A and B are shown apart, each in its own frame.
Chain A
Amino acid sequence: MATDRRRAGGGRTSGASRLEVALQALPRGGIEWQAVTAGEVDAVVDYAHSNVILFPLARRAMRDGAAIAGTPAQPEGRVANSILAELSREDLGQMLAGLEVVHLRNGQLLHEEAMEFRYVYFPIDCVVCLSTAAEGQRRIKTGLVGYEGLVGMSLVFGVEASPVQASVLAEGAALRMGADRFVEELSRCRTLQNALHHYTHFELAEARHEIACMSFGRMEQRVASLLLMVSDRSRKQSLFLTQECMAATLHARRVSITLASASLRSRKLILYSRGTIRILHRRGLEALSCSCYRKWKDPRAA
């Protein structure tokens, strides 16, 4: 990390070089320096210029979050999951006691089809793909869950085994709670029940539109919609999505995804390299996307 910053410095009074100078002022080997090297620091206080310098990753995350959500980055003290954000402070405090922050990695399996839930997950900036076995080993995407929702919805209706497989499509953080504890909290908290019922309605409506989209949408439209949905739910403009993963998610041949992605790139809507896709022109992508995306653009608008 330190090496990258030195490379970015360039000797000018740029943000990167100011960051480098501020970092050099930290006591070497001290707890602050150790936290920096562990990647647990967002910003350094620059005493020489009386300001605060954000690390590039933190700046990018805040900018992406603000640009995509259309609001300033998460307000102070709020939990960055929409279901939890609807709870009162008292209910949230009770819930948080049973939650732990986990970092979910690409491809990580959260629960298997027909297996009992061990945990539920409230995504913060990761995206989880729900899929159902179609034929043999082939699976088809039946839902995406991001910061607007919960992974483990069947428990809300008293079903202890998952009807779908849940795996991580875009890595990031989530809050995790044991399934037993979640059921207890659900029976206790009316606001949580209401928030999850509202979310269920949204999920069902979106799923119906996606079925229509699969039947009539062109591959280019479907790829555009998928990218926008993952971007919305993870609140990131850069997505780690391989074409293989997109093909599996959209139940399409990889060559079709390659052609559709190339078309989007030639229109300067996206850039991709080694599995990382960057959205360059969001409005252009929206104009091209399926009607199902445009209808359910805001995951909380249902």
Chain B
Amino acid sequence: MKRRSAGTRAASAEPTTVVVLRLYVAGGAPNSLQAIANLESICAEYLKDGHRLEIVDVLEEPRRAMADGVLVTPSLTKISPVPVAQVIGNLSDRPRVLQALGIRSHGH
């Protein structure tokens, strides 16, 4: 799994900040299912009610994926707070996902 981040600093998300995420998946394909499970696990553990997650099935909405510049799925975009960040893949590398989302893991 690879990460693209517009920022250089991984700050911890403020408790009052709502993190807005959009996950592009391809129906029930294996990596997409894994990405959903992994992301829901991360959200439940770290973000609780402080997040908004939208899951977009590109098989149903290909034009939307194109409008948003998505190249492959699964693809996760952190829309806010800035900096915008993107993670590609099944999100199984939790430290990388946390870093991209600007979340400090419990272990740090």
> Which residues of A are interface residues toward B (Cβ below 8 A)?
26, 31-32, 34-36, 38-45, 47, 50-52, 54-55, 57-59, 61-62, 65, 72-77, 79-80, 92-94, 96-97, 99-101, 124-125, 173, 175
Q: Could you mark each residue 7-41 of chain B with 1 if its beta carbon is under 8 Å from any beta carbon of chain A, else 0?
A: 00000000000000000011111111110111011
> Quick one: which of A35, A65, A125, A175 contacts B88, CB cutoff 8 A?
A35
State whether A45 touches B88 (Cβ < 8 A): no
B72 in contact with A43 (CB, 8 Å): yes
- With both chains docked as a complex, state the minimum distance between the C-beta of B68 and any C-beta of chain A, in angstroms: 10
User: A72, B88: Cβ atoms under 8 Å?
Assistant: no
Q: B31 and A51: CB pair below 8 A?
A: no
Q: Give the number of residues in B that approach A within 8 Å (Cβ atoms).
A: 41
A59 to B75, CA, bound (A): 18
Given contacts A40-B89, A44-B72, A77-B36, 13 further A-B contacts (CB under 8 A): A31-B4, A34-B2, A35-B72, A40-B31, A42-B74, A43-B58, A51-B62, A57-B30, A58-B26, A74-B28, A79-B40, A97-B45, A101-B34
A173→B57 contact, CB < 8 A: no
The minimal Cβ–Cβ distance linking B34 to chain A, given in whole angstroms, is: 5
Known: A31-B88, A35-B1, A38-B1. A65 touches B28 (CB 8 A): yes
Cβ of B6 under 8 Å from chain A: no
> Could you tell me if B27 and A45 are in contact, using CB atoms closer than 8 angstroms?
no
Q: Is the CB of A61 within 8 A of B2?
A: no
* 16 A–B contacts from the bound complex (CB under 8 Å): A35-B1, A35-B88, A41-B74, A41-B88, A41-B89, A42-B26, A44-B72, A45-B70, A45-B73, A58-B26, A58-B29, A61-B28, A76-B25, A96-B40, A96-B45, A173-B33
CB atoms of A58 and B30 under 8 A apart: yes
Q: Which chain B residues border A31 with CB–CB below 8 Å?
A: 2-4, 86, 88
CA separation between A216 and B43, bound complex, in Å?
51
Q: How far is the CA of A72 from the CA of B59 in the complex (A)?
A: 13
Please encode chain B, from 46 to 75, with 1 for each CB lying within 8 Å of some chain A CB and 0 for all others.
Answer: 000000000101110011011000111111
Query: In the assembly, what is the distance between CA of A173 and CA of B61, in Å?
Result: 27
Dominant secondary structure at the B interface: mixed
Interface residues of B in 70-92 (CB under 8 A from A): 70-75, 86, 88-90, 92
Q: How far, in whole Å, are A31 and B57 apart by their CA atoms in the complex? A: 21
Question: A173 with B34: in contact, given A42-B73, A52-B65 (CB under 8 Å)?
Answer: yes
Whole-angstrom distance from the CB of B101 to the nearest CB of chain A?
15
**Neighbour of A52 across the interface among B26, B30, B43, B88, CB < 8 A:** B26
Q: Which of A45, A55, A100 contacts B58 (CB 8 A)?
A: A45
